[in-house]
Amino acid sequence: MDPIIKISDLDKYFGMLHVLKNITLEIQPREVVCLIGRSGSGKSTLLRCTNFLEEPSHGTIEVDGIKVEAQGKGGEHRQQIHDLRLKTGMVFQEFNLFPHMTVLGNVIEGPVTVKGMDRNQAIALAEENLDSVGLLFKKDEYPNRLSGGQKQRVAIARALTMQPRVMLFDEPTSALDPELIGEVLNVMKKVAKDGMTMLVVTHEMGFAREVADRVIVMAEGELIEDSNPDELFRAPKDPRTKALIDRYRSGES
């Protein structure tokens, strides 16, 4: 089976700072991959390069057959990025909901304006996805009437309504109060169980251990370890991974 995400020889510089260093990574359809590592290791930058929210300095990104070279120019490059983004749903740390739109308005905005979907079709799809995240009853509310966990679940429903082939999650629980984290993680578990390919930047080690098919550890802009969760948490090979897991375990006790 061909990989659905293929990242090759990826570098990213911010000025003189070399943030991502020769990253090569393949993810199979329906695979759930969690990226873990200390803050500043490059996890979020890698995620944002995957859908060209950050333009890579070098390398290629391919998602579901759409291949884009870094630093391309002109209309063809812009169209390739547009096509690649249609394949990827993105959920951010902050919810990025439009405050002047209802929940339903937020969820249908992308399909109608970006994909040109018929409004009634978009509404039906949005209601289906809101129901799947347990928030159909909030469809006529405005974001300021929602909890943080509810806002993030709406953001997930919004991304799913674009019918992506891949979902990218950038620390989706980091802005939430501790008591709200579980409701978002439960929705993400359901999305994974439904067969969505997922690349998840997270500090939630329990989620990574339970849900991921693979856990990848980043440090200083490099992928330092890539393994199944059981093996990685039981016997990490790199001392930096061991230190990360030890900190997680000490926080559990």
Q: How confident is the model at residue 249 (pLDDT cuts 50, 70, 90)?
A: confident
User: Using 50, 70 and 90 to split pLDDT, how confident is the model at 139?
Assistant: very high
pLDDT band at 248 (very low <50, low <70, confident <90, very high): confident
What is the mean pLDDT of the segment spanning 24-42? 95
Q: Which region, left, alpha or beta, applies to residue 70 given φ > 0 means left and ψ of -120 to 50 means alpha?
A: beta
How confident is the model at residue 179, as a pLDDT? 87
Q: What is the pLDDT averaged over residues 24-30?
A: 97
- The per-residue pLDDT for 246 is 87
Q: What is the pLDDT of residue 207?
A: 92
Alpha-carbon torsion angle 117, 153, 199, 106, nearest 10? 30
Per-chain mean pLDDT for the chain: 94
Mean pLDDT within 30-36: 97
Mean pLDDT along residues 140-164: 96
Whole-prediction pTM value? 0.94
pLDDT of residue 1 exceeding 90, the answer is: no
Percent of the chain with pLDDT over 90: 89
Predicted confidence at residue 252, as pLDDT, reads 55
The two tokens of residue 217 are 């550890």
pLDDT of 253 reads 37
**Looking at the predicted structure, is the pLDDT value of residue 7 above 80?**
yes
For residue 194, pLDDT over 50 is answered with yes
Give the pLDDT mean for 148-168: 96
Query: Cα-flanking dihedrals φ and ψ of residue 201, to 5°?
Result: -85, 120
